[in-house]
């Protein structure tokens, strides 16, 4: 039997609960799946060694997440967020000293390649670490602290660990309906990519994936995840690399985000696949599109640039 793909207007008319408007992370799976995917993407990849290094970070996140004891959000905070249609755990409140200490200790014991940036982070006073966090959280979080591209991925990984464990303790009914649909309902962070899932309540639906807390929230397909227009949407993929990952571009705002398709590859993981596809980023930049936002596990200096010499082919969405 052939299943008809619903039009955006039809999906929007369906009851939000029936279509699973959010997908909360499972602390027992999310980091392990990310580590596995990063290892799968590494062979033959121009940044393969870096992907393996980030796989080691994700493995450390997974180990620490299983025993990390963080108090769940109190009911009054959940009620307040729902009343005011605001994220439950605003990113600007993130500090994660407990998660950072545990993760840095684990990495120091297992990943000697990270000894230098780990030593720098572990030696930072609490106020300096807090300033570095605010600098990483991006626009709207005032900080004069310059971003250290060597330590930034590790600090972001600690923030991910903290926020993902907190998000995993929530229930679907806890999440507020935000007035802004392009940010995470848990922490207010922009999505790193989107994914079209398979199976159960998620079958055939597109979810935006938070790069901080790994929460996913529903957005109809063929719609810009940056400006929300449904006009001028196109899809591009790197020629010869399959259809499991594409760049969804917007002719209105000239931004793009990547979109992964589980029906093409059940092992895709939004953050890992985004990180492992820099060739697509290079080619989209050359085509005149800008990334809507970056990947939390990769921070490049302003003058970093590369050209992988690959061809880009427009494909059907």
Question: By mean pLDDT, which of 181-190, 207-216, 267-276, 301-310 is the weakest?
Answer: 301-310
Same domain assignment for residues 35 and 166: yes
Looking at the domain assignment, is residue 103 inside a domain? yes
Looking at the domain assignment, is residue 181 inside a domain? no
Same domain assignment for residues 169 and 259: no
In this model, does residue 13 exceed pLDDT 60? no
Looking at the domain assignment, is residue 18 inside a domain? no
Q: How confident is the model at residue 10 (pLDDT cuts 50, 70, 90)?
A: low
Question: By mean pLDDT, which of 93-97, 177-181, 214-218, 309-313 is the weakest?
Answer: 309-313
Q: Which domain holds residue 266?
A: 192-315
Tokens of 78: 């959940």
pLDDT at 85: 87
Same domain assignment for residues 172 and 196: no
* DSSP calls for 260-316: EETTT-TT--HHHHHHT-HHHHHHHHHTT-EESS--TT----TT--------EEEE-
Helices and strands (DSSP H and E) totals, the chain? 10, 9
Percent of the chain with pLDDT over 70: 85
What average pLDDT is seen over the chain? Answer: 87
In this model, does residue 306 exceed pLDDT 50? no
User: Per the structure, how many domains does the chain have?
Assistant: 2
Same domain assignment for residues 246 and 155: no
Instruction: Decide which of 176, 205, 231 is a domain's last residue.
Output: 176
Same domain assignment for residues 172 and 236: no
Looking at the domain assignment, is residue 250 inside a domain? yes
Instruction: Decide which of 176, 206, 236 is a domain's last residue.
Output: 176
pLDDT at 92: 61
Looking at the domain assignment, is residue 206 inside a domain? yes
Same domain assignment for residues 166 and 29: yes
In this model, does residue 315 exceed pLDDT 80? no
Looking at the domain assignment, is residue 2 inside a domain? no
Average pLDDT of the segment spanning 19-23: 91
Same domain assignment for residues 213 and 130: no
Tokens of 148: 């250290």
Q: How confident is the model at residue 2 (pLDDT cuts 50, 70, 90)?
A: very low
pLDDT at 297: 97
Tokens of 198: 């398979």
Note the helical H segments in the chain: 8-13, 30-41, 48-65, 75-84, 97-110, 115-122, 126-136, 152-168, 270-275, 278-286
Same domain assignment for residues 146 and 218: no
pLDDT at 110: 96
- CATH of residue 284: 3.90.1670.10
Same domain assignment for residues 131 and 203: no
In this model, does residue 139 exceed pLDDT 80? no
Chain segment 59-109, per-residue pLDDT in tens: 999 999 999 998 888 899 899 988 888 888 876 666 678 899 999 999 999
């Amino acid at each position: 039997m052939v299943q008809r793909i619903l039009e955006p207007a039809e999906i929007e008319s369906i009851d939000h609960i029936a279509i699973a408007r959010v997908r909360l992370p499972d602390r027992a799976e999310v980091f392990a799946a990310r580590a596995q995917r990063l290892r799968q993407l590494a062979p033959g990849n121009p940044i393969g060694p870096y992907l393996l290094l980030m796989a080691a970070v994700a493995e450390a996140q997974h180990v620490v997440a299983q025993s990390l004891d963080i108090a769940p959000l109190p009911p009054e905070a959940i009620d307040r967020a729902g009343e005011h249609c605001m994220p439950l755990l605003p990113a600007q409140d993130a500090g994660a000293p407990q998660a950072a200490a545990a993760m840095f200790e684990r990495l120091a014991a297992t990943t000697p390649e990270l000894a230098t940036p780990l030593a720098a982070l572990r030696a930072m006073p609490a106020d300096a670490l807090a300033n570095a966090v605010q600098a990483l959280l991006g626009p709207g979080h005032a900080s004069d602290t310059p971003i250290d591209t060597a330590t930034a991925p590790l600090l972001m990984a600690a923030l991910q660990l903290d926020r993902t464990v907190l998000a995993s303790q929530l229930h679907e009914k806890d999440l507020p309906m935000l007035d802004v649909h392009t940010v995470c309902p848990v922490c207010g962070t922009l999505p790193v990519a989107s994914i079209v899932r398979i199976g159960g309540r998620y079958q055939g639906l597109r979810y935006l994936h938070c790069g901080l807390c790994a929460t996913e929230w529903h957005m109809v397909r063929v719609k810009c995840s940056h400006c929300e227009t449904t006009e001028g949407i196109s899809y591009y993929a790197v020629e010869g690399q399959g259809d499991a990952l594409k760049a969804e571009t917007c002719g209105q705002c000239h931004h793009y985000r990547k979109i992964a398709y589980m029906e093409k590859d059940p092992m895709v993981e939004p953050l890992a696949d985004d990180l492992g596809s820099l060739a697509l980023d290079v080619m989209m930049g050359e085509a005149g599109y800008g990334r809507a936002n970056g990947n939390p596990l990769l921070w490049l200096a302003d003058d970093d640039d590369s050209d992988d010499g690959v061809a880009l082919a427009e494909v059907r969405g």
